[in-house]
């Protein structure tokens, strides 16, 4: 008997998941997509299976704007295991070296200033970055080590929250592309004892905070009681990740031409940069960029939501 093709729903918005421990970001995405029965889905940057916390999941029209969340600043809390280094710079790797820990609170505080502000990081081999089309982690698993270009990142906040004899807990606010595993590993080397990430929790992703998230268990309970449509209550608007962008509201006439790809003028527009756009009814219809002649050029459009 022929298998019946599943008909998925055309739903749009963002669900802020508190990603559970042990899940890849994609596995978490596919689980929530199934609970929604959503046609189109994407996430906004991977969290390691070891990591938990804020993972914005985009559905439908919201996937058009996932790149802007991917590029946003992030916040983390991490527990560093002092005295050991591992192949992956976290608890999932094999121990490479064990050293005595003779540092305390004041020693840790003393090295932190060198890791604040703009810094350079060499991405870890166990990462999703690609070399000749192959993710580095696949090369690493095959025993290969390749040269990686240093990258510039910014650590806006690095605070020691507490420490025990062989552990230290940090709060980190950082720019996109920052590897917390590399940061912890580098701090460990600065201390002379080595370190790896034992726990990692993302507390912030762009404008979204941990307090706004929903757990997978909560989503499953709502689905079990009310089906796919019941899960819709957790969907945030597609532009909720762009709330700090300037907002323009077009007239019915301007919105019509703009949605057909034509740049239009708006007296209240800023002189340059990206903007969010609503139609005359207050419905989000896309994002635009202010051109040199002062008109708003459409960049990503939403025709119906």
pLDDT in tens, 176-188: 989 999 999 999 9
Mean pLDDT to the nearest integer, 37-42? 93
C-alpha distances out from residue 106 to 63, 102, 162, 180, Å = 45, 11, 11, 21
Contact 168, 145 (CB under 8 A): no
Other beta carbons less than 10 A from residue 208's beta carbon: 24
Per-residue pLDDT tens over the stretch 213-226: 999 999 999 999 99
Pair type for strands 117-121 and 151-163: antiparallel
SS3 content of the chain, % helix, strand, coil (to 5): 30, 35, 35
- Is 48 noted as a catalytic residue in this protein? yes
Whole-number mean pLDDT of the chain?
A: 91
Per-residue pLDDT tens over the stretch 6-25: 788 999 999 999 999 999 99
Q: Provide the 3-class DSSP secondary structure of residue 210.
A: helix
pLDDT given at position 304? 64
Pair type for strands 51-59 and 13-19: antiparallel
Mean pLDDT to the nearest integer, 92-112? 96
Q: What are phi and psi of 279, to 5 degrees?
A: -85, -175
pLDDT given at position 269? 87
Contact 275, 247 (CB under 8 A): yes
Other beta carbons less than 10 A from residue 186's beta carbon: 20
DSSP letter, residue 287: E
Which residue do the tokens 């007239």 mark?
251
Helix or strand holding residue 66 (H, E): helix 66-70
Q: What are phi and psi of 34, to 5 degrees?
A: -65, -40
Domains, the chain = 13-71+208-234 (3.30.2350.10), 74-205 (3.30.2350.10), 247-301 (2.30.130.10)
Q: What are phi and psi of 52, to 5 degrees?
A: -125, 175
Per-residue pLDDT tens over the stretch 203-258: 999 999 999 999 999 999 999 999 999 999 999 999 999 998 999 999 999 999 99
Marked catalytic residue, from 48, 186, 239, 279: 48
**Least confidently predicted of 57-61, 112-116, 159-163, 299-303:** 299-303
- Rounded to whole angstroms, the Cα distance separating 75 from 146 reads 29
Per-residue pLDDT tens over the stretch 142-184: 566 666 778 899 999 999 999 999 999 999 999 998 999 999 9
What is the CB-side half-sphere exposure of residue 166 using CA atoms within 13 A?
11
């Amino acid at each position: 008997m022929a298998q019946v093709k599943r008909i998925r729903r055309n739903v749009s918005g963002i669900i802020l998941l508190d990603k559970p421990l042990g899940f890849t970001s994609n596995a978490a995405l596919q689980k929530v997509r199934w609970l929604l029965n959503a046609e189109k889905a994407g996430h906004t940057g991977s969290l390691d299976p070891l990591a938990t916390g804020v993972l914005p999941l985009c559905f439908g029209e919201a996937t058009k704007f996932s790149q802007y969340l991917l590029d946003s600043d992030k916040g983390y809390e991490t527990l560093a295991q002092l005295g050991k280094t591992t192949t992956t710079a976290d608890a999932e790797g094999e121990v490479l070296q064990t050293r005595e820990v003779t540092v305390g609170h004041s020693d840790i505080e003393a090295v932190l200033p060198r890791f604040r502000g703009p810094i350079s990081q060499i991405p870890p081999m166990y990462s999703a970055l690609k070399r000749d089309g192959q993710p580095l982690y696949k090369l690493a698993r095959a025993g290969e080590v390749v040269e990686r270009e240093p990258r510039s990142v910014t650590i806006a906040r690095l605070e020691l929250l507490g420490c025990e004899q062989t552990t230290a807990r940090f709060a980190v606010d950082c720019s996109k592309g920052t590897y917390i595993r590399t940061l912890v590993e580098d701090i460990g080397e600065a201390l002379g004892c080595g370190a790896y990430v034992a726990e990692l929790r993302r507390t912030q992703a762009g404008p979204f905070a941990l307090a706004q998230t929903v757990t997978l268990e909560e989503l499953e309970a709502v689905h079990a009681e009310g089906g796919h449509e019941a899960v819709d209550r957790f969907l945030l608007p597609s532009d909720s990740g762009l709330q700090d962008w300037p907002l323009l509201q077009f007239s019915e006439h301007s919105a019509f031409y703009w949605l057909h790809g034509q740049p239009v003028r708006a007296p209240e527009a800023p002189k340059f940069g990206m903007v969010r756009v609503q139609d005359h009814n207050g419905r989000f219809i896309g994002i635009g960029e202010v051109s040199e002649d002062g008109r708003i050029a459409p960049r990503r459009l939403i025709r119906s939501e």
